[in-house]
Structure 1
């Protein structure tokens, strides 16, 4: 793996006891940071990417490197959620290692698709990550094609390596009952808000108490930028009102009464799921579960239900309908589980 890293500087140092150690630096020259990870490992590559990501360097015009720089300056890229941009920056750093000087004109040439696919397959041991990298490269080429910088996107309709998808996974009624009835209050509250608003984890953890006006909750979705107003279900009113009365900055807080951090919540969630022995589902799967519940509960036509669910949840209509088709028959069980747990808590 270290052979892929252009610019890594290797230095052999003789210690006082006569032994020789080898140090690796992100680049040659004064001020170059040392790479502490073991050479040849994934950690070594990741550390190299982190250390060199913000280093000023000259990018050759007319290359994939310059294409990346131009794309990063666009309004569309700048308005992406900060977390999404961080993920993209890491992936772009990996792409640059391989294709920094790859000519833009060669992107269109016959055979280029195979070059990119072969590169993707070098990461096949981590198929989901490999798919994310090739998808971002395809997005870059799609933008370039839309702006007439290239005439052909060689990465249209690339098959995924990672076959798994969580779109078809929802919580069972037994799992929901355990979660709502037995989870620690600070974890249960987050789960309830997620179930009754269908919002992403980051959006509900950062939800300010001011977002609740006594009857509705106003949310700006970090990923899409969309603004939605959701009627506060009776089941989450106690959580919202308590936050108001306590004059909390955010609706949801941890066991110490402090605002959640994303890493802190993930760690607490993992520990609680282990304690409750809940397996096979994730926090993210609560959104699909909530969609199933909402579809079964709403007294509207099929098309109206899908439209409303999509507007609130942030899913595309196609994804929402896919979840419904897979799990509609489980809808009443989900409703009953949520209701039972809420009444007992």
Structure 2
């Protein structure tokens, strides 16, 4: 791909090797088939999108309108502390609502929000429509205490169901797939996958873990997506993987082949190459994702009979108080240790009964 950089735009290759480009602030995508990368039309389209973004930035919404409520929410600490991906998604929701930003607050009610939700599902799909509903819920939630609106009109809107014919993203990995990936991965990649595989951490959170977040045999972390604290015990399997990892001087627990902290894009690229190679050999099935390892932990524990609350505690799905102390988390860590022991035993039991996938032979 031609090396082109434009300030404010993300230019990259997707997992199929196809070039992609979008505006970082608004999320607006550029069709690189109609406007080839590096062409005059491409730079003209970038300039047009940036001009629109700047115009929207300086235009203040009218008081007492939906746009003013959204603006109030964007200035809250709650929004500022959200993960970068979440903030980007919420900005996209606001862009979708931009044409009706001047709707008076007095006209906002549940039927209106339901209509917006239905229209969004038709134009941008069920998932993003539901995200828009969630976004409006956050806007209304923080506007109520300020006396800007009287209730959350999104709460009565029923989320759009997932289409039955749509395959689930981030499916759990089979035992055989886990075994072959760990066997074939390079050392610095193996320990990274092993950490995600044996903790249920989100991949982006795992890559950011610092050395000082390990105390004894516990990893103390915070989920980047929600800001929730986690206390993840280091089980025997993970400890062996950490002990066998290549040495490095990075401040993070995990590092790339040069001994530097991983970037999410960097690891994703390495993982994508490995996955495609294993798929071509027929030793893993299509659909493996790094986030699927988080689903693997939850699924394995559920099938082993663990309660949902125990699984949620291990995965950091409980909402703790901001001033939560290590003493309270210590109790959670001990419960999580027992939960993780079940995961370890169940993995061992399954590994003894499942054989690795064999390479497919073409007739």
1:201 maps to which residue?
203
1:128 maps to which residue?
127
Cα separation, 1, equivalents of 2:161 and 2:269: 29
1:310 and 2:317 correspond: no
Cα separation, 1, equivalents of 2:274 and 2:248: 25
Cα separation, 1, equivalents of 2:353 and 2:260: 29
Alignment equivalent of 2:177, drawn from 146, 166, 175 = 175
Alignment equivalent of 1:228, drawn from 220, 230, 236 = 230
Using a 3 Å threshold, how does the CA distance of structure 1 residues 239 and 49 change in structure 2: closer, same or farther? farther
Cα separation, 2, equivalents of 1:81 and 1:134: 18
| Cα distance, 1:49 vs structure 2 | 7.2
| Cα distance, 1:284 vs structure 2 | 0.9
| Cα distance, 1:313 vs structure 2 | 0.5
Deviations 1:74-109 (A, max 9, x none): 23223322332232123223322x22211111112x
After superposing the two structures, state which structure 1 stretch, 233-242 or 84-93, moved more. 233-242
SS at match of 1:311: helix
Cα separation, 1, equivalents of 2:246 and 2:179: 27
After superposing the two structures, state which structure 1 stretch, 229-238 or 148-157, moved more. 148-157
After superposing the two structures, state which structure 1 stretch, 260-269 or 211-220, moved more. 211-220
Cα separation, 2, equivalents of 1:157 and 1:177: 44
Cα separation, 2, equivalents of 1:47 and 1:313: 43
Using a 3 Å threshold, how does the CA distance of structure 1 residues 246 and 267 change in structure 2: closer, same or farther? closer
Deviations 1:228-278 (A, max 9, x none): 332211222244446795332111122332211112222222221111113
CA contact (8 A) 1:205 1:252 kept: yes
| Cα distance, 1:148 vs structure 2 | 4.9
Cα separation, 2, equivalents of 1:87 and 1:194: 24
CA contact (8 A) 1:176 1:337 kept: no
| CA RMSD, 1 decimal | 4.0
Aligned length, in residue pairs: 287
1:188 maps to which residue?
190
After superposing the two structures, state which structure 1 stretch, 83-92 or 42-51, moved more. 42-51
Cα separation, 2, equivalents of 1:170 and 1:47: 42
1:257 and 2:259 correspond: yes
**Unaligned stretches of 5+ residues in structure 1:** 1-34, 318-329
CA contact (8 A) 1:174 1:337 kept: no
TM-score, with normalisation over the residues of structure 2?
Answer: 0.65
2:100 maps to which residue?
99
1:291 and 2:290 correspond: no
SS at match of 1:217: strand
| Cα distance, 1:58 vs structure 2 | 2.3
SS at match of 2:192: helix
| Segments of 4+ moved more than 4 angstroms | 35-39, 41-47, 145-148, 164-168, 241-245, 294-297, 330-334, 336-341
**Unaligned stretches of 5+ residues in structure 2:** 1-27, 36-41, 320-342, 355-363
Cα separation, 2, equivalents of 1:337 and 1:220: 30
TM-score, with normalisation over the residues of structure 1?
Answer: 0.68
1:7 maps to which residue?
none
> Which structure has the greater CA radius of gyration?
1
